[in-house]
């Protein structure tokens, strides 16, 4: 089966054989192979079909820049489309399928698109799907969706896990080719803390693909020794299979380590991939260069391969892409491919060099192998239905000859791989010397070396790497001697040939998106002159490969068509990620249950044991209600809880509410500046309601202020607003009034707190702590607080109520939470006590007209909330000035009202719009909205709170609550927002 496997040593383990399947057919390969090398070895050159024209496509490269050989890897939940065959490390049992081909890759019906290519030119979508407009959603979009996309994503949940890791180093070296290794060795020997990231599973870069010697040993051996030295150093972290995909602010880089992609399934406790966030004091970018192709007719046919990739397959994988391989080159480097093929006993019938003059040494060597050489020649076209059979060559004399080949290696010159050096917005500059873009305006922390810096010789790469390594080490305080290595001499001359003018057939400037030279010409005819516009109009460079192998040729074509130099046209900015990154890797652990951490109250386990149903309240898990056996409808559970509290007594865990301890000689003065109402005058042992505004005059939060002692207050906040309030107070303390003596401590986590509410609340509490505290109205009136000993601990009781009944809150150290709630339930058993959850709490606060998060939503003022009378006119406080803006007290501004459906059983929904009785449901008739609604078991009907324009004049008016989402239109009466015990007598009971 391995028709194209060569003899001799490479970087594969010939002794072991792996078995894999491609499109259902079984093949064999060796450890060290990629899927691409294994397919080539088996003589498979057709790997898939292209996106638009369904052209047969093969393997163009040997790296992550591969545009053509995209396959679906694995099956079931692990199926991953668009996987580059050149990056798939072969494992036993691997399964892959070709993409974009039906019924098979050899006979693909979609190839009819190629015949219709006159229709599918650049801008096809923009021009075709414009009219009729009504067709867009019904016809065009569904049709486009059916044919769009590359491959099929698995619809199942990803079974693998991913990790995120934070790493720090003195020097980050990106790439482990000769330049990267030289930099890493130099800096590491000096003692700097180093991370080396290598995309490949085999470090060494071109040293594995080319036949070089360093200090008299083969380059691949030198690389292996260098890596071993680095790995042995404790301050070095050497990571293979790791792609640095993005450069970010703050010397931060993102990298993906493919921990398990080379295995059938990840090992136990190992993620599939790790996302590394690397913060590096210095970075050496040694990402090499990317070889370009030339734009000629049929430059996409399977069998056409970049010349350096051919060398990689021959030297590293011991595979040849064909048995009769021609070379089309624009520089000296390409000739190496011919010689390496010849050394491997592969026939090279022809070398076509677009240059008219080349080094005599090259010519002599070619002649020595009886290879025909055409100088000043160009490949006009290729032929072959599913694989390359023949090329047409135009020689200097204008003659066209046809040559039978089964592979063509193309060396169009090298572009430094500087994507990462442009992620932060640096524009590359054109170099006349190397006819490619180089990085420019680099930050001081980043240095580009080797081929990435245009140093295309091995000696240059090693030299620039070592110099950068030393410089980086020195800059972080390590003295490094400069090593040097002996290498063979190389010829690196090259003259670019961007495109072949007389090309016959489609000549591609973007393989993945099927953009041809003709599309560029069309774009120019339609007025596009900038590289960025060309990109967007033609989709040139917008594939997952970002056009790495041929985009520059497209820009050169644009330059030629618009009569400019390539330098004038410029190039596009590369954006992260450098290669595709799985979203799962970025999410890492933060998915599903771990999307955000849960917070549990101290008696959570007790509530669980009581069968509580929990609800997410921010990060908190709060008991929503406590169903009894036999209760199947949550509404009946909530109704029972409400009725029990109103008639007897209930206990609710309110530990999640924020608690802030405020101390200091200036605590009173500080709080006066914070709260809109007067709070500091509250006597010791008493509690007062407090309203806090933001600087813009909107309400930030409401809560209570308890004065525990002189200069010692305890504030409560809503559960959701604790963080904001703490930040607000800290800002005021540290920035606005640092001269005040105030100390703030967030004590929320210290205390478990239980609301005990209902007409029998005092009776219950007396049963458990009568000996510790007198609870009569005289001793502990409404809005009083007192310390007590409870279960041997310091505890506190607050006589406050949110639900409108006689109520207490008992605060105990968190460790006492479970014994406390158990004691309360036990003591209340004979009283009929019930635990109640947030839902019953919500119902009761709506019955009482207390505002909560739905009303204090960041856009409402004290006046909107009906709390205007609280706002002090006699002091300065945060928010006072801007709360006085005229528009905030305009009569049309919606303010709080109660709403009662005329039909008591009619459901009222939060979010419904308030409209006049006969007014059509249009935005201009909108008069407000329902903010909270509930079925009130106490009143036996639905009730709601809402905001209504000119609310004060409209009590008794009948309007509509219109909810188009739920298709409800309910006539309601505008009422006072207090539905239950409006005199507030019950809390004083």
Q: Report the interface residues with other proteins, using CB under 8 A.
A: 163-168, 193, 268-270, 277, 279, 589-590, 594, 596-602, 605, 619-620, 661, 663-666, 739-745, 747-751, 791-794, 813-816, 818-819
In whole angstroms, the minimum distance from the beta carbon of 688 to other proteins comes to: 21
Q: Which is nearer to other proteins, 169 or 461 (CB)?
A: 169
In whole angstroms, the minimum distance from the beta carbon of 182 to other proteins comes to: 25
Specify whether the CB–CB gap between 753 and 770 falls below 8 A. Answer: no
Q: Which is nearer to other proteins, 270 or 680 (CB)?
A: 270
Please list the residues that pair with 72 across neighbouring strands. 97
Outline where 272-396 has alpha helix (H): 307-315, 332-343, 360-368
Which residues are CB-neighbours of 330 under 8 A, at least 6 positions away? 294, 353, 354, 355, 411, 412, 413, 494, 495, 496, 497
Measured distance CA(74)–CA(63) in Å, rounded: 20
Terminal Cα distance for the chain, rounded:
93
Helix, strand, coil percent content, the chain, rounded in steps of 5: 25, 30, 45
Specify whether the CB–CB gap between 725 and 658 falls below 8 A. Answer: yes
In whole angstroms, the minimum distance from the beta carbon of 802 to other proteins comes to: 21
Q: Which is nearer to other proteins, 105 or 241 (CB)?
A: 241
In whole angstroms, the minimum distance from the beta carbon of 813 to other proteins comes to: 4
Q: Which is nearer to other proteins, 346 or 674 (CB)?
A: 674
Q: Which is nearer to other proteins, 206 or 622 (CB)?
A: 622
Q: Which is nearer to other proteins, 597 or 920 (CB)?
A: 597
Q: Which is nearer to other proteins, 435 or 719 (CB)?
A: 719
For residue 846, the 8-state DSSP code is H
Q: Which is nearer to other proteins, 637 or 719 (CB)?
A: 719
Tokens 């107070």 sit on residue: 729
Specify whether the CB–CB gap between 476 and 309 falls below 8 A. Answer: no
In whole angstroms, the minimum distance from the beta carbon of 17 to other proteins comes to: 30
In whole angstroms, the minimum distance from the beta carbon of 52 to other proteins comes to: 42
Q: Which is nearer to other proteins, 453 or 786 (CB)?
A: 786
Specify whether the CB–CB gap between 372 and 324 falls below 8 A. Answer: no
In whole angstroms, the minimum distance from the beta carbon of 76 to other proteins comes to: 24
In whole angstroms, the minimum distance from the beta carbon of 883 to other proteins comes to: 29
Q: Which is nearer to other proteins, 641 or 666 (CB)?
A: 666
Q: Do β-strands 378-383 and 436-438 pair in parallel, antiparallel, or remain unpaired?
A: unpaired
In whole angstroms, the minimum distance from the beta carbon of 238 to other proteins comes to: 15
In whole angstroms, the minimum distance from the beta carbon of 154 to other proteins comes to: 24
Q: Which is nearer to other proteins, 575 or 822 (CB)?
A: 822
Specify whether the CB–CB gap between 266 and 456 falls below 8 A. Answer: no
Which residues are CB-neighbours of 205 under 8 A, at least 6 positions away? 175, 176, 177, 178, 180, 198, 223, 288
In whole angstroms, the minimum distance from the beta carbon of 163 to other proteins comes to: 6
Specify whether the CB–CB gap between 438 and 418 falls below 8 A. Answer: yes
Measured distance CA(66)–CA(63) in Å, rounded: 6
Question: HEC profile for 576-625?
Answer: CCCCCCCHHHHHCCCCHHHCCCCEECCCHHHHHHCCCEEEEECCEEEEEE
In whole angstroms, the minimum distance from the beta carbon of 808 to other proteins comes to: 20
Please name which of 174, 160, 365 lies closest in space to residue 264, comparing C-alpha atoms.
Answer: 160
The angle subtended at Cα 845 by Cα 645 and Cα 843, nearest 5°, is: 70
Q: Which is nearer to other proteins, 161 or 647 (CB)?
A: 161
Measured distance CA(801)–CA(369) in Å, rounded: 98
* Residue 508, φ and ψ in degrees, nearest 5: -95, 135
């Amino acid at each position: 089966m391995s028709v194209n496997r060569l003899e001799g040593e490479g970087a594969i383990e010939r002794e072991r054989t792996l078995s894999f399947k491609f499109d259902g057919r079984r093949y064999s390969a060796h450890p060290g192979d990629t899927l691409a090398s294994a397919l080539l070895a088996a003589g498979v050159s057709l790997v898939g079909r292209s996106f638009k024209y369904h052209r047969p496509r093969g393997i163009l490269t040997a790296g992550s820049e591969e545009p053509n050989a995209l396959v679906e890897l694995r099956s079931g939940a692990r199926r991953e489309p668009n996987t580059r065959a050149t990056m798939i490390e072969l494992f036993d049992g691997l399964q892959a399928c070709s993409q974009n081909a039906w019924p098979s890759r050899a006979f693909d019906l979609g190839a009819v698109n190629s015949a219709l290519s006159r229709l599918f030119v650049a801008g096809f979508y923009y021009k075709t799907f414009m009219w009729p407009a009504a067709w867009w959603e019904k016809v065009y979009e569904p049709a486009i969706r059916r044919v769009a996309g590359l491959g099929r994503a698995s619809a199942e949940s990803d079974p693998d896990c991913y990790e995120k890791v934070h790493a720090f180093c003195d020097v980050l070296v990106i790439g482990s080719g000769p330049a990267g290794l030289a930099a890493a060795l130099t800096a590491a020997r000096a003692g700097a803390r180093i991370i080396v990231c290598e995309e490949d599973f085999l470090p060494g870069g071109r040293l594995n693909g080319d036949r070089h010697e360093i200090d008299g040993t083969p380059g691949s051996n030198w690389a292996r020794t260098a890596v071993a030295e680095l790995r042995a150093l404790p301050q070095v972290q050497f990571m293979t299979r790791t792609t640095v995909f993005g450069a970010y602010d703050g010397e931060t880089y993102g990298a993906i380590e493919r921990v398990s992609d080379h295995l059938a399934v990840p090992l136990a406790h190992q993620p599939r991939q790790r996302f590394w966030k690397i913060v590096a004091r210095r970075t050496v970018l040694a990402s090499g260069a990317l070889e370009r192709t030339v734009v000629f007719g049929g430059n996409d046919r399977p069998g056409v391969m970049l010349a350096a990739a051919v060398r990689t397959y021959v030297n590293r994988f011991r595979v040849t892409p064909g048995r009769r391989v021609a070379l089309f080159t624009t520089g000296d480097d390409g000739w190496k491919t011919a010689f390496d093929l010849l050394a491997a006993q592969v026939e090279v019938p022809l070398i076509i060099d677009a240059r008219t003059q080349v080094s005599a040494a090259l010519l002599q060597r070619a002649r020595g192998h009886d290879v025909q050489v055409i100088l000043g020649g160009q490949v006009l076209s290729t032929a072959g239905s599913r694989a390359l059979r023949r090329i047409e060559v135009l020689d200097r004399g204008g003659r066209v000859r046809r040559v039978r080949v089964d592979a063509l290696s193309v060396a169009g010159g090298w572009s430094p791989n500087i994507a990462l050096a442009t992620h932060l917005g640096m524009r590359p500059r054109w170099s006349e010397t190397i006819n490619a873009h180089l990085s420019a305006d680099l930050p001081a922390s980043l240095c580009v070396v080797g081929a990435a810096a245009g140093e295309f010789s091995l000696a240059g790469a090693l030299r620039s790497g070592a110099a950068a390594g030393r410089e980086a080490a020195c800059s972080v305080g390590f003295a490094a001697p400069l090593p040097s290595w002996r290498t063979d001499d190389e010829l690196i001359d090259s003259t670019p040939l961007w495109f072949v003018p007389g090309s016959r057939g489609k000549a591609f400037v973007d393989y993945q998106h099927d953009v041809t030279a003709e599309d560029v010409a069309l774009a120019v005819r339609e007025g596009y002159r900038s590289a960025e516009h060309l990109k967007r109009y033609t989709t040139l460079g917008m594939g997952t490969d970002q056009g790495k192998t041929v985009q520059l040729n497209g820009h050169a074509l644009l330059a030629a068509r618009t009569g400019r130099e390539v330098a004038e046209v410029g190039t596009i900015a590369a954006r992260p990620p450098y290669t595709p990154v799985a979203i799962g890797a970025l999410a890492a652990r933060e998915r599903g249950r771990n999307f955000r951490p849960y917070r549990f109250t101290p008696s959570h386990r007790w509530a669980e044991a009581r069968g509580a149903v929990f609800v997410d309240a921010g990060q908190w898990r709060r008991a929503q209600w406590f169903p009894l056996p036999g209760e199947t409808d949550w509404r009946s559970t909530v109704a029972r809880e409400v009725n029990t509290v109103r008639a007897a007594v209930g206990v609710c865990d309110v530990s999640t509410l924020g608690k802030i301890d405020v101390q200091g000689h200036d605590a009173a003065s500080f709080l006066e500046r914070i709260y809109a109402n007067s709070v500091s005058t509250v006597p010791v042992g008493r509690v007062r309601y407090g309203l806090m505004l933001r600087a813009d005059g909107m309400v930030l939060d409401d809560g209570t202020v308890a004065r525990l002692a002189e200069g010692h207050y305890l504030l409560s906040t809503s559960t959701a607003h604790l963080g904001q309030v703490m930040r607000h107070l800290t800002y005021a303390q540290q920035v606005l009034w640092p001269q005040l003596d105030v100390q703030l401590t967030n004590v929320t986590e210290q205390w478990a707190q239980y609301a005990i509410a209902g007409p029998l609340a005092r009776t219950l509490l007396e049963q458990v702590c009568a000996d510790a505290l007198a609870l009569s109205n005289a001793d502990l009136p409404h809005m009083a607080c007192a310390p007590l000993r409870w279960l041997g601990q310091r505890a506190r009781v607050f006589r406050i109520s949110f639900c409108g009944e006689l109520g207490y809150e008992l605060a105990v150290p968190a460790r006492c939470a479970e014994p406390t709630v158990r004691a309360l339930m036990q003591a209340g058993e004979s009283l009929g006590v019930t635990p109640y959850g947030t839902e019953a709490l919500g119902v009761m606060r709506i019955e009482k007209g207390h505002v909560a998060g739905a009303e204090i939503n960041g856009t409402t003022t004290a006046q909107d909330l009906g709390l205007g009378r609280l706002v002090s006119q006699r002091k300065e406080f945060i928010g006072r000035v801007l709360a006085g803006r005229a528009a905030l007290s305009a009569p049309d501004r919606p303010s709080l009202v109660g709403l009662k459906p005329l039909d008591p059983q009619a459901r009222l929904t939060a979010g419904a719009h308030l409209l006049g009785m006969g007014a059509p449901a249009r935005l201009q008739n909108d008069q407000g909205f329902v903010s909270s609604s509930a079925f009130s078991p106490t009143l036996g009907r639905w009730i709601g709170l809402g905001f209504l324009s000119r609310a004060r004049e409209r009590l008794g008016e009948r309007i509509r609550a219109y909810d188009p989402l739920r298709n409800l239109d309910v006539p309601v009466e505008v009422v006072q927002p207090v539905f239950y015990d409006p005199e507030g007598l019950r809390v004083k009971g």
